């Protein structure tokens, strides 16, 4: 009984290919218009929009010490 490896399962070739592709993705990356657009959107556009919204609403809302019926807006 010792030495037999009954615990191993047969590996699915599709999962093995997916794992290899995921681990080696950086080797095959290319800058295309699509990848450049996605990178721009996530590194410039989204933080810029969130920063603009944060800047415009800075100090406008106060959630501390408010009671029911009080207005959250300061101005």
3-state secondary structure of 66: coil
Q: What is the pTM of this model?
A: 0.55
Q: What is the pLDDT of residue 21?
A: 93
Lookup result for tokens 């556009």 = 45
Q: What is the pLDDT of residue 27?
A: 93
CA distance 17 to 24: 11
* Domain positions in the chain: 25-64
Q: What is the pLDDT of residue 20?
A: 94
Residue 72 has pLDDT above 90, yes or no: no
CA distance 75 to 56: 12
Task: Please give the biggest Cα pair distance in the chain.
Answer: 79
The pLDDT tens digits for 4-56 are: 666 677 788 999 999 999 999 999 899 999 999 999 999 999 999 999 999 99
3-state secondary structure of 73: strand
Task: Give the distance from CA 46 to its chain's centroid.
Answer: 12
């Amino acid at each position: 009984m010792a030495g037999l490896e009954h615990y191993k399962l047969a590996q699915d070739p599709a999962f093995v290919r997916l794992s290899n592709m995921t681990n080696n993705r950086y080797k095959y990356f290319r800058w295309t218009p699509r990848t450049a657009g996605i990178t721009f959107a996530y590194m410039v556009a989204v933080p810029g929009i969130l920063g603009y919204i944060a800047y415009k609403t800075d100090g406008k809302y106060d959630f501390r010490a408010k009671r029911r019926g009080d207005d959250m807006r300061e101005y």
